Structure 1
Amino acid sequence: MSVSTSTAPETPARAGRARVGRLFEGAARANRSIPVLVVLAIIWAVFYSQSSAYLSFQNITNLTLQIVTTAILALGVVFVLLVGEIDLSSAVLSGVCAAVAAGLVVNHGQPLAVGIAAGVATGMVVTFIEAQIIMFGVPSLIVTLGGMVILQGLILVVLPPEFTVSVAGTPFAKIASTAVPAGASYGLAVAGTLAYTGYRLFQRRERLSTGSLSSLAAVVVPSVVVAAVLFGGVYTLTQQRGLPLPLLILAVMLLIAWYATTQTRYGIHLYAVGGDREAAQRAGIPVRRMVLYSFLVLGVCAAIAGMVDSSRQLGVSVTSGAGPLMLNAIAAAVVGGTSLFGGRGSIWAALLGALVIGSISNGVQLLGLSTEVQYFATGSVLIVAVAVDVVLTRGSLLSGRR
């Protein structure tokens, strides 16, 4: 005897939820940078409507300087998230690296290059140790949480008895105070535009050689957009005193990271490990080594972020790397489009996410609003970003819900 089954008729409420779910899923699966840019535009519009000074040349310059530390640290966090791990200690590590570098330059009279090299080496050694423990099977959340506590004690050991190092008037302070003149800045914009256009032309030629269709507009339009962004940014930032060196450091790091993750075999392995670690292992990809490399990159980024921040603050103390820096770096990576589940994201997420988080903080400070407003806004944006990430990972906003 056959048993017939019937499906319950779809109620209007359920149909409405399904339509909303499909709407969010479609938006989530689009280019991840587009929703971020839309959110950024909304944030700027809201704060500009409250104060016209928000988009002034001076405030935009301040905003870019404020986000550099977060963006550099978030860049390292992106590498760790891409392999399916997480780190909670890199903010405090940035303070330890800055203390090592500043101590050598200021208190021991070492050249700036020696101090920077020592700071970077410190970051790599710490993350190397953490990665080794993680590769033994201890969850990265626990390892880096414990590492954060240890590093909070280590910075007390590294700092002198007065627990502070002032870098004012030393070569260390020039890291943040140096600015590239307008002429050289425009030269860099020209070089960047030409390099990008050449890259797009090379891509078009590769497609044509394989028989794929590729219009010239695919080269011209993106190149014009990049040129507008570069020249507009240089024009805006040089209205004050020139292109800030920290911003140039960030740009160089982003370009190197972009090339490594998109144009090399290392990048292919990186995404493969984060997407499916077991499949990557079966394919012969050195999973343990890729995890190690990601943490080493984070160590370098943490060291550079700490030194840039201490140069801008003109000193290192026990509070260096403390506060919301770690939360902001993780939030920037996730808000910018990097998945918490690994295998999906872009290097540019660090910059876009830092812009979103920094724009909220900058606007709150400019308008004299309470800190609670900043926390509410930042937390809300982070929750929405993670919800989008869950959609992309599970395939549905309403997965598992009835």
Structure 2
Amino acid sequence: MNAAERAVPGRGRPIPEDGAAYTLRDLASRFATRLRDGELGSLPVVIGLVVIAVLFQALNPRFLAPGNLVNLTLQAAPLGVIALGTVVVLLVAQIDLSVGSVSGLASAIVGVCAMRLQWPILVGVAAAIVAGAAIGAFYGFLLTRFGVPSFLITLAGLLAFLGVQLALLGPSGSINIPFTDPLVQFANTWFLPPWAAYVVAGIAALAVLGTGLARRRRRMRAQLPAEHPSVTIVKAVALLVALGIVVWYLSLDRGTAVMPVLFLLLVVVISYLLRRTRWGRSVFAVGGNVDAARRAGLPVTRTLVTAFVICSALAALGGVLSAARLGSATTLTGSADTNLNAIAAAIIGGTSLFGGRGGAWSAVLGVLVISAISSGLTLLNLDSSVRYMITGAVLLLAVIVDSLSRRSRASRGRG
């Protein structure tokens, strides 16, 4: 080692004085190594999305048309919000089977508050989200205080809150929300002007660049290997180009809808909380090994409770968005397949069913897969039974990949 290099304590590899560790070549080598070790990450989901797009486009040229993709993003956003909360619960190695019922209850609360009680719509939305958060806190209390398995707690909640939803909706089974209502307008007709969409894309790229360079500075100060600035710049430019293409293509029809942007903003917030905060580190630790987390002095009880609070609050928000999209709160809002699709989206996107592995962006990938399958089959005029069978097969494949990856990591650990 020469004077221009300094060693990292406890590591054999020196870091050049200019911080030129983890170049593009290094990252490509690490990626190839992970693939050989069975660490596939999100690659199977991305490949699956490409296959789905090519297949449905070949069967119906309208699948990748700008108008259909705009509809797909609007359709995916409410389910994506619910799936995002499901990801958080799965990360702590728990499950919530009642997200569909909670979303349906939230839609009923909005309908009752806005239409029957004549409250301002924002008050109704706030009441629905607060009710969802309270349900999550109740789940967390039962789990941590009495040790009742979350499977049973949320199964009971599925039935109970479905009953509350039906009671609120009354004999008619639905509450219509006028199309002129701001909430319905938000979910159906609010689109960003092209210039504003490009500005949002630019802000996202600058955020990636800024956070990457800040992370590099922190790691260099701690004498840890850090990405070369060129790697961060390439990532930011690639994101800017990709988002620019998406914005341009969607602008050929109605443009970029505001509701999907809200969903992506929530994903960014949850991703930051999971990856950059003490609470997020506790989530992964509890999901990986709850006993070890408890012995390490981590707030296990608080982590579990907050995970359920976030899950149910996001489920309630997803229900509000679903009602806004439909222009009514009905018994079909939050129906049985909402539970299944939300959990399936989280798992298909790469969140482990066994806890401790995954991320907020899993919800985006998973809901895109499910929404693409639904949209493609609708264009082909195929029965919904086919959609259920295909989605089930994709879910099974995702669980198998997750199990094989987990087994591979375990065997390497024993080795």
- TM-score for both structures, normalised by structure 1: 0.89
Hey, what does 2:156 align to over in structure 1? 146
1:124 to 109, 130, 133: 133
CA distance 1:211–1:114, shift in 2 (3 Å): closer
Amino acid at match of 1:173: V
Hey, what does 1:341 align to over in structure 2? 354
Q: Deviations over 1:301-345 (max 9, x none)?
A: 111100111111110012210041111110110011101111111
Matches within 5 A, 1:182-261: 182-209=194-221, 210=223, 212=225, 214-261=227-274
Distance of 1:193 and 1:249 partners within structure 2: 17
The answer to whether the Cα contact below 8 Å between 2:91 and 2:356 also exists between their aligned partners in 1 is yes
Amino acid at match of 1:138: V
Deviates more, 1:166-175 or 1:328-337: 166-175
Hey, what does 1:360 align to over in structure 2? 373
Distance of 1:363 and 1:398 partners within structure 2: 40
The answer to whether the Cα contact below 8 Å between 1:390 and 1:397 also exists between their aligned partners in 2 is no
Query: Shift of residue 376 of structure 1?
Result: 2.2
Q: Deviations over 1:59-114 (max 9, x none)?
A: 11111111112211110000000001001101111010111122211222211221
Q: Deviations over 1:260-302 (max 9, x none)?
A: 0001111110100000000000111111111100000011111
Distance of 1:220 and 1:133 partners within structure 2: 47
Matches within 5 A, 1:3-402: 26=35, 29-135=38-144, 136-168=146-178, 169-177=180-188, 178-209=190-221, 210=223, 212=225, 214-395=227-408
- TM-score for both structures, normalised by structure 2: 0.86
SS for the counterpart of 1:29 is coil
Amino acid at match of 2:156: G
Query: Shift of residue 172 of structure 1?
Result: 2.7
The answer to whether the Cα contact below 8 Å between 1:173 and 1:314 also exists between their aligned partners in 2 is yes
Deviates more, 1:376-385 or 1:255-264: 376-385
Query: Shift of residue 227 of structure 1?
Result: 0.7
Amino acid at match of 1:374: R
For structure 2, the residue ranges without an aligned partner over 5 or more in a row are: 1-33
Distance of 1:28 and 1:162 partners within structure 2: 56
Distance of 1:28 and 1:122 partners within structure 2: 45
- Give the percent of matched residue pairs that are identical in Structure 1 and Structure 2: 34
SS for the counterpart of 2:254 is coil
CA distance 1:301–1:27, shift in 2 (3 Å): farther
Distance of 2:84 and 2:319 partners within structure 1: 13
Distance of 2:183 and 2:173 partners within structure 1: 18
Amino acid at match of 2:126: A
CA distance 1:213–1:99, shift in 2 (3 Å): closer
> Root-mean-square deviation (CA), in Å?
2.0
SS for the counterpart of 1:55 is coil
- Write out the 4+ residue segments of structure 1 that deviate beyond 6 Å after TM superposition: 396-399
The answer to whether the Cα contact below 8 Å between 1:63 and 1:358 also exists between their aligned partners in 2 is yes
Q: Deviations over 1:198-224 (max 9, x none)?
A: 111222333333263532321122112
Deviates more, 1:180-189 or 1:278-287: 180-189
